[in-house]
Structure 1
Amino acid sequence: MKEVAKYLIKIDAEFVDGKIVTEIPYEEVMRLVNEPNIVIIKTGIPQETLAKVIKGTRQWASKTPLTEAPDTFDNNQHKHRLHIAKIQQAPQLFHDHTFDALLDLEPAFQQTLLSIFDPMRNLWNSLTGNDEAFGIRKGEAYFHPQVTHYPLGGSFFGRHWHPLNPQKVGLILALNQYGKDYTSGGTGYVINDHIIETEGFQDSGDLLLFRYDLPHWVSPSSFADRFSWEDPAGRWVSILPFYNPWGTPADKDEPQGWKTQIQQAKHAPSVAVA
């Protein structure tokens, strides 16, 4: 475990039988997230597995018409997100692939996605004390697996936030490599009025964890590049939200409870960072 910047900690892990096994207990990982810190786990997921997810997602999208209708949260779709969120007024520009009906996908592609989403699900369950499976449950919280592409030339996601519960901890898995596959754009956060930019810190296969109610954003990719929806270049990530689409949305005002959490953490026993 190593603190690489203020509020930014890297943790080693092993990828064993399809599970992410961290070098410190899951309870300690969650404590670090809740202090709060941004925690980056070196998962060890094979690079060929990550590349297969990108390739499979692109092949699936090439055969699946773009969705322009409002989200129904009960299907598999991909959409060019290009609008401003009504409640939080967060502008966004990225290509979203959402697999709410993951279990209905063609078996080969389903297994390709599960090669990353199952380890993410198992880790989230271990961190939060849950035992949730994939599947749509109307009126309840459930997983919404997503593969997101931020094309070169100005894609981004403006500053926004989420209710802390029931997600508790957000997960962002890097599917490709900063400095090789893309050279600009990363997830940023605010902790105790301090800006944390993860651009350049998250390598391919790294899983970024964060307390879910922290204000955060995705910085723009460089405008020096020509924008294209069709060009696969750019940042690719997978995320695993867990929420009830028909539940209470995030408030229009940024949450401030995490500041209280910071004050509480100052009086808690510290964990040595080596």
Structure 2
Amino acid sequence: MQEVAKYLIKVNAEFKDGQIVPEISPEEVMRLVNEPNIVIIKTGIPEAVLRNVIETTRAWAAKTPLAEGPDTFDNNQHKQRLHIAKIQQAPQLFHDHTFDAILDLEQPAQQNLLQVFDPMRRFWNSLTGNNEPYGVRKGEPYFHPQVTHYPLGGSFFGRHWHPLNPQKVGTILALNQYGQDYHSGGTGYVINDHIVETEGYQDMGDMILFRYDLPHWVSPSSFADRFSWDDPAGRWVAILPFYNPWGTPADYKEPQGWKEQIVQAKEVTA
């Protein structure tokens, strides 16, 4: 375990029998996340497995029409997102592939994706004390596996936030290599009014963990490159949100609940 920058901690892990096993206990990992810090887990997932997720996603998208209508949260779809979120007013420009019905995918696509998403699911369960399976459950929280492509030439995701629960801890797994497959763009956070940028700190196979109510964003890829939806170059990540799509959305006001909790705790002990 090593603090590589303020509020940015790297933790080594072993990829064993399809599971991510960190060098410290899941309880200790969550303690670091909740302090809060940005924790980067060196998962050890093989490069071939990670790149296969990108290739599988691209092959699936090539034969699947782009989704145009509102999200239904009960299927497998991909969408070129270019809009401003209504509640948070967060601008977006990226290619989103969402596998809410991942268990309905044909083989070998399902198996290829689950080689990454199942270790992520098991790890998230170990961190949060849950035992959640995949599957759509209307009216309840469930997993929304996503593979997101940030093309070169200006893709980004504006500053936004989420309710802390039921997700508790966000997960962002790097599927390709900074400095090789892309040279700009990374996830940023605000902790105690301090800006934490992860660009250049996250290597292929590293999984960023963050307390889910921290304001965060994805910095733009360089405009020096030509933008193209069809060019696979750029940043690729796998994320595993867990939420109820029909539940209460994030507030317009930025959540800083952890700050309030710290203040309240100090008042109680004073």
Q: TM-score range by the shorter chain?
A: over 0.9
Uncovered stretches (5+) of structure 1, i.e. residues with no partner? 267-274
| Number of residue pairs matched by the alignment | 266
1:68 maps to 2:68 = yes
Deviation at 1:265, TM superposition (A): 9.3
| Alpha-carbon distance between aligned partners in 2 of 1:95 and 1:195, rounded to the nearest angstrom | 26
1:40 aligns with 2:40: yes
Aligned residues: percent identity? 82
Matched, 1:175 2:175: yes
CA distance in structure 2 between the partners assigned to 1:54 and 1:262 by the alignment? 41
Is 1:230 the counterpart of 2:214 in the alignment? no
Counterpart AA for 1:70: P
Structure-1 separation of matches of 2:24 and 2:264 = 22
Distance in 1 (alpha carbons) for counterparts of 2:187 and 2:73: 25
1:211-235 CA distance string (max 9 Å, x none): 0000000000000000000000000
1:209–1:264 Cα change, 3 Å:
farther
Instruction: Letter of the 2:9 partner, please give it.
Output: I
Shift of 1:107: 2.0
Following TM superposition, where does structure 1 have runs of at least 4 consecutive aligned residues deviating by more than 3 angstroms?
Answer: 260-266
Instruction: State the 1:261 CA deviation.
Output: 4.8
CA distance change for structure 1 residues 34 and 265 in 2, over 3 Å: closer, same or farther? farther
Q: Which residue of 2 aligns with 1:109?
A: 109
SS at match of 2:32: helix
In structure 2, the residue matched to 1:134 is 134
Contact kept, 8 Å, 1:184 with 1:220, in 2: the verdict is yes
- Over aligned residues, Cα RMSD in angstroms? 1.1
The answer for the alignment partner of 1:217 in structure 2 is: 217
In the alignment, what sits opposite 2:78? 78
CA displacement 1:229-274 (0-9 Å, x = unmatched): 00000000000000000000000000011223556899xxxxxxxx
Unaligned runs of 5+ in 2: none
Number of the residue aligned with 1:270: none
Change (3 A) 1:264 1:50: farther
For 1:199 and 1:260, locate their aligned partners in 2 and report how far apart those are by CA, in whole Å.
Answer: 29
Name the structure 1 match of 2:244: 244
- CA contact under 8 A between 1:36 and 1:261: conserved in structure 2? no
Per-residue deviation, residues 23-46 of structure 1 (Å, max 9, x unmatched): 000000000000000000000000
Which residue type is aligned with residue 9 of structure 1? I
Query: How does the TM-score come out when normalised to structure 2?
Result: 0.97
The one-letter code of the counterpart of 1:259 is K
8 A Cα contact 1:184 1:199, kept in partner: yes
The alpha-carbon distance between structure 1 residues 177 and 209, as it changes in their structure 2 partners (threshold 3 A), is: same
**Using the alignment, how far apart are the partners of 2:70 and 2:154 within structure 1?**
24
Q: Deviations over 1:166-201 (max 9, x none)?
A: 000000000000000000000000000000000000
Amino acid of the structure 2 residue aligned with 1:14 = E
The answer as to whether partners of 1:35 and 1:262 remain within 8 angstroms in 2 is no
